[in-house]
Amino acid sequence: MMNRTLTIVLLSAAMVLPAFSQQMSSSSSSSTSTTSTVSQGDTATGKAPLQTTKPDNFWDGDEPSLGALIFHPYASKKYVQRHVSLVQDRVTELDQLTATNARMIKDVDTRTQQGIQLASAKADMADQHAMDAGNKAQTANRTATDLNSSLATAEASIGNLDKYNSASQTEIRFHSGQTALSKKAKEALDEIASQLKSQHGYVIEVQGFSSGQGQLAIANSRRMADAVQRYLVLNNEIPSYRIYVIGMGNASSASGSTGSRVEVSVLKNNSEQAAK
């Protein structure tokens, strides 16, 4: 019996010594951790650092009994819960803070991408406007060039309006003292009119010549020229503003002919060719 009791006491001492060593080491580590935490100031969550309580032991008591050392050498559930709950709260707060920071970073990234896209769209729009402006400038230059060419052509045409060249000349003979047109004279006038159909840029000069003297000869020559004009207007629909009538009396003509006659000259300018 004595040997059995001695064996129990030795086993108990062997178990007590590691427990006391573990308790002293835990107390020392806790004290060092507390000092280090307090010296670091605020934490990432913005709250005060965790404060350690009095150095509790595994048995929720200040001094464990011999029976507690023998039959309950491990930490109790309350002891573990009391120390783990504080750490768990801070871990939860850190998770929430991390999630908040992640959302903020995502929002900043989204706004940055939107800003980049908006800037790119505006840059593309500016490039398009610049391209349109360049195309309009080129069109304006081409239009100005075409207008200058047209203006030069118009100036040349206007300059040629009063420059007439003789195209054809026909002589209409009259009996002395008469103004009636013969059949041959009418055929000659019809041929002249047919050549002028749908044409522009021409005038018809009708000069009357008559034998005699003074105003009587001029009057007779004018009546013959008027007869030719009247036939061209009424029978061939030649515009009257294209016919110029002159009574020359007994003046000499360039053809050298004599007697009562009317010289019909068709004069043309280059306006029609310039228009084409």
Q: Over the stretch 129-186, which tens digit does the pLDDT of each residue have?
A: 898 998 999 899 888 888 778 777 766 666 655 677 877 889 999 988 888 999 999 9
At residue 77, does pLDDT exceed 80? Answer: no
Side-chain-side CA neighbours of residue 274 (13 Å): 19
Convert the pLDDT of each residue in 186-196 to its tens digit.
999 999 999 98
83-88 average pLDDT score: 71
Query: Is the pLDDT higher at 34 or at 161?
Result: 161
At residue 27, does pLDDT exceed 90? Answer: no
Q: Where are the beta strands (DSSP E) in 129-217?
A: 165-173, 202-209
pTM above 0.95, yes or no: no
Rounded to 10 degrees, the C-alpha dihedral 156/158/161/167 comes to 30
8 A C-beta contact, residue 254 and residue 169: no
The CATH architecture of the domain made up of 165-275 is 2-Layer Sandwich (3.30)
Q: How many C-beta atoms lie closer than 10 Å to residue 181's C-beta? A: 21
Convert the pLDDT of each residue in 196-229 to its tens digit.
888 888 999 999 999 888 899 999 999 999 999 9
Alpha helix stretches (DSSP H) within 55-76: 66-71
Q: How far is CA 276 from the centre of its chain?
A: 39
